Structure 1
Amino acid sequence: MLDLTIIKAITLDLDDTLWPVWPVIERAEAALDEWLGRHAPMTAALFANPTARHDIREQVVRTRPELRHNLSAIRREAIRLALYRSKENPLLADEAFEVFFAARHEVTLFDDVMLALEFFSARYPVVALSNGNADVGRLGLGSYFRAAISAQEFGVGKPDPRIFLAAAGAADVHPHNVLHVGDDATLDVLGGLNAGMQTAWVNRADHLWTHESLPHETVTSLTELCDLFRQAEKEQP
């Protein structure tokens, strides 16, 4: 049962909580492929083969384990390796990655997001907590967040309790005073619970809960979560 009386900060997942991520990634990959087709056609042809594309990424992950949580670096080095294998200029990798990264930030927010960000940021410090590489500043959302903690910068990702504790520290509160909000049952809910936080599962797609431990609250939208806070505020003496 969610205890709103002790909440002093909100940590908030990004991908698939604030926007659907896979349409964004597909469009970003299409933008990258189009750019490579004009500037590095042999690399574009190589990347057109899904198996080759997967194998290149896996080689980067295998040979550069220090990049395991750094999705941007993995993507950039995969492009560089593909350029090298295709006997094209590896120095194009940085520019090619920027094409992908710019398109990766062309997100379409869920309809409830802006009002929820305004609601929560007016009441609590809000910290973005993500395993992805989205930049809330680049998205124009930076003013709603006290801080942003990402796996690629911190070095470990959710559900590791350490990244949740870092987010609580960024808000200058104890973990038990944090409500973590996210869509992923394992990464967000179980990760937050293991770090000593309260958790709200944003289940937009009516998934079944399959774990023994339960979230403190399940909602189908951020609006529903905001309404719980509004109701609690009305009931305060």
Structure 2
Amino acid sequence: MNLHAVHASPIAAITLDLDDTLWPIWPTIARAERQLHDWLAANAPATAGLGAVALRRWRERAAAEHPQWAHDLTRLRLEAIRGALGEAGEDPALAEPAFEVFFAARQQVDCYADVAPALERIARRWPILALTNGNADLARIGLAQWFSAGQLGAREFGVGKPDPRFFAAACARLGLPAQAVLHVGDDARLDVAGACAAGLRTAWIRRPGLAAAAEHADPPQADWQGADLIALADWLGA
């Protein structure tokens, strides 16, 4: 189906989710946690001895005690490390360098094979703005060249998807009305339902093996859905 046949006005820009849309996030996080543990073992051995479960427990505790930080994954992770250090009787000031080890490893993503060729095609025709609830750094990852409109993160803005204010801020940054923007993401609730509610058009990336984790009790009606970005580029006519 041709995009212009569905809507009277053409797509003028694209907002694009990152985690699980461009790369699988959980293998990345698991690797980053292992590198964090190795650093703690060398610099804060009592904290390392608590194990990964303790760090996850502290992260859950930080999220429960500070719901106002829900949009700020960096702060939650830092608070979890600080809490674990305190529990082990070690210097809480080690939280900052420990987090930097985790954060550097968090940027070592393994992009899906379709990402680079598809972004190259799409970026030739439309400005792309990364719109993410996570804390990926496109410059450190090496993808920034395709995001001519930059990156907007929940941590920077103060709320994240599916809040309509976040999508409205993305449209404002692009200087476009919502109906001229296509949001692309993998999560039915955060990306598709959220963007639909804010008036954007939507493309739902449903990668094999990830669909179950991103399902929605009442699946929204996306403008398009498919398995990868190459299929999206074909649909867009890029």
Q: Structures share a fold, TM > 0.5?
A: yes
Which residue in the other structure is 2:171 paired with? 168
Of 150, 158, 161, 1:158 maps to 161
Shift of 1:66: 3.1
Q: 1:45 to 1:67 in 2, by over 3 A?
A: same
| Aligned counterparts of 2:220 and 2:43: Cα–Cα separation in 1 | 51
Shift of 1:55: 2.9
Do 1:12 and 1:182's aligned partners in 2 also have CA atoms closer than 8 Å? yes
Q: 1:93 to 1:60 in 2, by over 3 A?
A: same
Shift of 1:115: 1.3
Of 185, 202, 225, 1:218 maps to 225
The normalised TM-score by structure 2 is: 0.90
Q: 1:140 to 1:49 in 2, by over 3 A?
A: closer
Unaligned 5+ segments in structure 2 are none
Query: Does residue 13 of structure 2 align to residue 20 of structure 1?
Result: no
Unaligned 5+ segments in structure 1 are none
Which residue in the other structure is 2:235 paired with? 228
| Aligned counterparts of 1:88 and 1:96: Cα–Cα separation in 2 | 12
SS for the counterpart of 2:139 is coil
Query: Does residue 107 of structure 2 align to residue 105 of structure 1?
Result: yes
Do 1:126 and 1:171's aligned partners in 2 also have CA atoms closer than 8 Å? no
Which residue in the other structure is 1:78 paired with? 80
Of 34, 40, 51, 1:36 maps to 40
Which residue in the other structure is 1:66 paired with? 68
Shift of 1:77: 1.3
| Aligned counterparts of 1:93 and 1:176: Cα–Cα separation in 2 | 43
Which residue in the other structure is 1:118 paired with? 120
Deviations 1:192-214 (A, max 9, x none): 10010110111111747652531
Q: CA RMSD in A?
A: 1.8
| Aligned counterparts of 1:93 and 1:221: Cα–Cα separation in 2 | 38
Shift of 1:72: 0.6
| Aligned counterparts of 2:67 and 2:204: Cα–Cα separation in 1 | 31
Deviations 1:27-84 (A, max 9, x none): 00000001101110110111x152x333312332233333221101110111111111
Which residue in the other structure is 2:89 paired with? 87
Q: Percent identity?
A: 47
Do 1:43 and 1:83's aligned partners in 2 also have CA atoms closer than 8 Å? yes
SS for the counterpart of 1:7 is coil
| Aligned counterparts of 1:69 and 1:2: Cα–Cα separation in 2 | 36
SS for the counterpart of 2:19 is coil
